[in-house]
């Protein structure tokens, strides 16, 4: 099949989707179930009953995420897969993945804000919460950038056909040249 | 003789791989460029990567209830990676003209099968636990 070359930005986008949207999500959940790496320090505090209660709620809340993150990881991988193949389905799966990622990030941020976990005193003293804040910000920024880029991508109007995509790119180059 | 869980994961995954390749052969879904690739796919990809690697490392410790989505997630992501490598780089196997569950384009078949790889570690862990129990006579 005559497939046009990938631009640098498409390669970068595919790498971010594959590594950030799929690889890191998988790595996070493997670490969550097999180590304490992803857990904030406060969940180990067994002295204060209020903190123990919050830790129970926090762990229950976090444990509900793997199934939802499955959607993000799989659709991100599919978006990267189709983007490398210059196929229009990259836009569909990319928008699903980015939308889901942003949605989950905002739920997480909302929970952490409402329960005071992002209060400066907690945030500055707990490296686990700092990592979570970085992940939350990374997810919102990454999802927004991905949606913005895919919405203006030529594949959005390409109807699955690389030959048509090439014709569109040639036409836009001709227009720019005139 | 009692079989350990890591060995059982490998055996279960290889068994699933043999079943999948046999079914694909009967229904002529895909063909390999060369026969050794079938062996590599069953032993390395099914047995070592999805079975021992994903199944044992992620699902081989403690309760399975919460870890099921992670098993599927990692299996599917690796599956899409494997199908992508084949589709764009290796060309070790190619799709026949027969539709797969109504899907006709090769790239869509690769994506569909990539996601379906997620079931491999899931069933591997379930079967592996049965193998361990059977080997202990439970």
Q: Which residue of A has its CA nearest to B115?
A: A74
| A9/A152 Cα distance (integer angstroms) | 13
| B68/B129 Cα distance (integer angstroms) | 14
> Is residue A23 pLDDT above 50, yes or no?
yes
As a whole-number percent, the residues of chain B with pLDDT over 70 amount to 99
| A76/A70 Cα distance (integer angstroms) | 10
Over residues A119-163, the pLDDT tens digits come to: 998 888 888 899 999 999 999 999 999 999 999 988 887 665 666
Out of A22, A87, A160, closest to residue B77 by CB: A22
Q: Which residue would you say has higher pLDDT here, B82 or B62?
A: B82
pLDDT at B9: 95
pLDDT at B3: 86
> Is residue B69 pLDDT above 80, yes or no?
yes
Largest pairwise CA distance in chain A: 74
Confidence bin at B80 (pLDDT 50/70/90)? very high
Over residues B32-60, the pLDDT tens digits come to: 999 899 999 999 999 999 999 999 998 88
> What is the interface pTM, i.e. ipTM, of the complex?
0.92
- Radius of gyration of chain B measured on its C-alpha atoms: 15
Phi, psi dihedrals of residue A88, rounded to the nearest 5°: -60, -20
Classify residue A135 by burial, with Cβ atoms within 10 Å: 0-12, 13-18, 19+.
middle
Interface test with B, best of A70, A84, A93, A160 (most B CBs within 10 A): A70
**pLDDT (average), residues A78-102:** 96
* Cα A146 to chain centroid, rounded: 9
> Is residue B116 pLDDT above 50, yes or no?
yes
B84 vs A89: CB contact, 8 Å cut-off?
Answer: no
**Which residues 48-87 in chain A show a CB within 8 A of chain B?**
63, 66-67, 69-70, 73-74, 77-78, 80-82, 84-85, 87
**pLDDT (average), residues B91-112:** 93
pLDDT at A176: 65
- What b/e sequence results for B73-103 when a residue is b if at least 16 CB atoms lie within 10 Å of its CB, and e otherwise? bbbbbbbbbbbbebbeeeebbebeeeebeee
pLDDT at B52: 94
**pLDDT (average), residues B112-122:** 96
Out of A33, A69, A82, closest to residue B67 by CB: A33
pLDDT at A161: 60
The answer to whether the Cα torsion of B49, B78, A15, A103 is positive or negative is negative
Looking at every residue in chain B, the average pLDDT score rounds to 92
| Distance between A11 CA and the closest CA of chain B, angstroms | 14
Q: How many CB pairs under 8 A join A and B?
A: 73
**Which residues 95-124 in chain B show a CB within 8 A of chain A?**
105, 107-108, 110-111, 114-115, 118
pLDDT at A1: 47
Continuous H helices in B27-118? 36-40, 57-59, 68-85, 106-116
Secondary structure of A37-79 in HEC code, one letter for each residue: CCCCHHHHCCCCHHHHHHHHHHHHHHHCHHHHHHHHHHHHHHH
Task: Give me the residues paired with residue B95 across strands.
Answer: B30
| Distance between B76 CA and the closest CA of chain A, angstroms | 7
- CB of A14 closer than 8 Å to CB of A86: no
- CB of A105 closer than 8 Å to CB of A71: no
pLDDT at B130: 93
> Is residue A167 pLDDT above 70, yes or no?
no
């Amino acid at each position: 099949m005559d497939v046009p070359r990938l631009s640098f930005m498409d390669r970068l986008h595919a790498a971010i989707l594959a590594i950030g949207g799929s690889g890191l999500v998988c790595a996070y959940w493997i670490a969550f179930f097999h180590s304490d790496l992803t857990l904030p320090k406060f969940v180990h505090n067994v002295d204060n009953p209020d903190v123990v209660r919050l830790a129970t709620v926090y762990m229950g809340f976090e444990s509900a995420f793997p199934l939802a993150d499955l959607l993000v990881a799989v659709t991100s991988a599919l978006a990267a897969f189709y983007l490398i193949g210059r196929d229009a389905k990259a836009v569909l799966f990319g928008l699903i993945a980015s939308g889901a990622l942003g949605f989950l990030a905002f739920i997480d941020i909302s929970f952490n804000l409402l329960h005071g976990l992002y209060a400066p005193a907690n945030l500055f003293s707990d490296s686990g919460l700092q990592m979570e804040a970085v992940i939350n910000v990374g997810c919102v920024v990454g999802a927004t950038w991905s949606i913005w880029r895919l919405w203006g991508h030529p594949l959005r109007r390409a109807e699955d056909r690389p030959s048509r995509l090439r014709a569109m790119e040639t036409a836009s180059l001709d227009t720019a040249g005139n | 003789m009692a079989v350990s869980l890591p060995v059982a994961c490998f055996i279960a995954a290889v068994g699933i791989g043999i079943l999948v390749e046999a079914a694909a052969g009967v229904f002529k879904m895909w063909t390999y460029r060369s026969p050794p690739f079938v062996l590599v796919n069953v032993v390395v990809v099914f047995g070592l990567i999805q079975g021992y690697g994903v199944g044992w490392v992620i699902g081989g410790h403690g309760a399975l209830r919460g870890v099921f989505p992670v098993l599927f997630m990692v299996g599917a992501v690796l599956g899409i990676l494997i199908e992508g490598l084949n589709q764009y780089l290796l060309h070790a196997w190619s799709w026949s003209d027969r539709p797969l569950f109504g899907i006709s384009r090769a790239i869509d078949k690769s994506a569909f099968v990539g996601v379906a790889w997620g079931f491999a570690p899931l069933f591997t862990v379930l079967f592996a636990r049965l193998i361990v129990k059977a080997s202990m006579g439970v």
